[in-house]
Amino acid sequence: MILSFGSTGSDDVWTWAPAVAAMVAYLLALLPQGAAPRLPNVGLAVGWLLHALALVVDIAGVGAPGVGARFGFAPALSATVWMVVGVHQVESRLLPLPGVRRLLAVSALVVVAMAALFPGEMRPSAGSAWLPLHWLLGIVSYGLFGAAVAHALMLDAAERRLRMKTVPGHGPLGLPLLRLERLTFRFVDAGFAVLSAALLVGMVASLGTPGLWRWDHKTVFSLLGWATLAGLITGRHLQGWRGRRATRWLYAGALLLVLAYVGSRFVIEVLLQRGG
């Protein structure tokens, strides 16, 4: 995202109560399915719902002094992982994915704790009526690209096993490789469309608010990420890019987007310990 909040620390009960509840539920999702087959799946579903509550409480600034919204690098990561877990919840209705479930539960547990420790800086005014939409679209695009990267990792793993002749023609989801590839790049296409909308809305917001648009590292990395992903989509449609070449472009574009907001906010909030 181009335009962003700052950060501040908080450990009030409003932030920690839903976060701790979500982490406990995600811990249940890590249990083996032998003794209680349904408990891990229930734990992940309940954790996902409590995770959503924790995000709402955090971003709304419930219990914090003042009125407004707050955001930062940790809530951005938390919202991204929350969306990826949601995608998994839908896919797991069709196919059992115990290994993926545990990986996502660990990731979600970590980001929920991070968001409680670093909830972001309270802002009483967004500065532009377009900014909330810009932030929302940015987070949605992060989640879609997060899902794309997760599927791309599975696609690369499946192709490695295929070359070793251990899993002929199928990915770790039990899906044919071509179907897994199509699913991966559908997430890319959707994420790119939402990211483009987020950038456009950010530009519109800056027109009515002088000084809102700045050629800083967030802007540069955001546009570089957008250009990299545009190159990936163009290469797939015009040159037929597939396999490792396509996934490497995806990883590069996603990394640039992470550096654009999450990376820069981490430096400001944690390493430099200042807002702004």
Query: What is the SS3 assignment for 227?
Result: helix
Where does the pLDDT of residue 165 fall: very low under 50, low under 70, confident under 90, or very high at 90 and above?
Answer: low
Query: What is the SS3 assignment for 71?
Result: strand
Say yes or no to pLDDT of 209 above 70: no
Integer angstrom CA distances of residue 125 from 57, 67, 121, 128 = 18, 9, 12, 8
- Convert the pLDDT of each residue in 82-137 to its tens digit: 998 988 888 777 666 666 788 889 999 999 999 888 887 766 555 555 676 777 78
| Among 4-8, 17-21, 206-210, 234-238, the least confident range | 4-8
How many residues are there in the chain?
276
Which pLDDT belongs to residue 116? 87
Which pLDDT belongs to residue 167? 52
Tokens of 52: 């959503």
Do the beta carbons of residue 25 and residue 50 sit within 8 Å?
A: yes
